[in-house]
């Protein structure tokens, strides 16, 4: 009696199918016998992750709420400006001609009262030192 093509294909598939079933049964047996250990390991991992997250959050809050303000108040000293002599911009008054009659075709220039650099006319703050203009 001759085997047909379908029967040959069936025999080729049968062995891998049986091996897959046996492997699945073996893995299921191992999981069920060791299930308490697996559950305990997963629970320990979750607890360790929660403890790590809590400690990390506590350290971040401690740094943000306590250490940074303390450092800012006690350790950082404001930069003191040293006088370089001469006139300060606040002391120099513009000439009347500069106030009443700006040059034709050119708008009057604006200077920062603190650092003295030229500031764009539409600026609200000095781009160099940050002082409010007007």
Q: How many CB atoms lie within 10 A of CB 116?
A: 16
pLDDT tens-digit profile of 18-51? 999 999 999 999 988 998 898 999 999 999 999 9
Domain boundaries, the chain: 5-74, 94-134
- Strand ranges (E), the chain: 110-111, 118-119
Residue-level length of the chain: 134
Q: What is the pTM of this model?
A: 0.34
Nearest to 129 by CA among 84, 81, 90, 94: 81
pLDDT tens-digit profile of 63-101? 888 888 877 777 666 555 555 555 666 666 666 655 555
- Maximum Cα interatomic distance, the chain, rounded to a whole number of Å: 124
């Amino acid at each position: 009696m001759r085997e047909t093509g379908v029967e040959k294909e069936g025999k080729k598939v049968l062995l891998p199918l049986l091996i897959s079933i046996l492997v699945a049964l073996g893995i299921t047996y191992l999981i069920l016998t060791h299930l308490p250990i697996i559950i305990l390991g997963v629970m320990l991992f979750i607890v360790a992750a929660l403890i790590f997250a809590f400690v990390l959050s506590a350290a971040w809050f401690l740094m943000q709420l306590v250490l940074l303000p303390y450092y800012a108040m006690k350790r950082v000293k404001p930069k003191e400006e040293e006088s370089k002599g001469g006139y300060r911009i606040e002391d120099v008054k513009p000439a009347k001609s500069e106030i009443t009659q700006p040059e034709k075709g050119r708008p009057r220039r604006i200077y920062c009262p603190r650092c003295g650099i030229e500031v764009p006319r539409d600026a609200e703050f000095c781009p160099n030192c940050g002082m409010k203009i007007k």
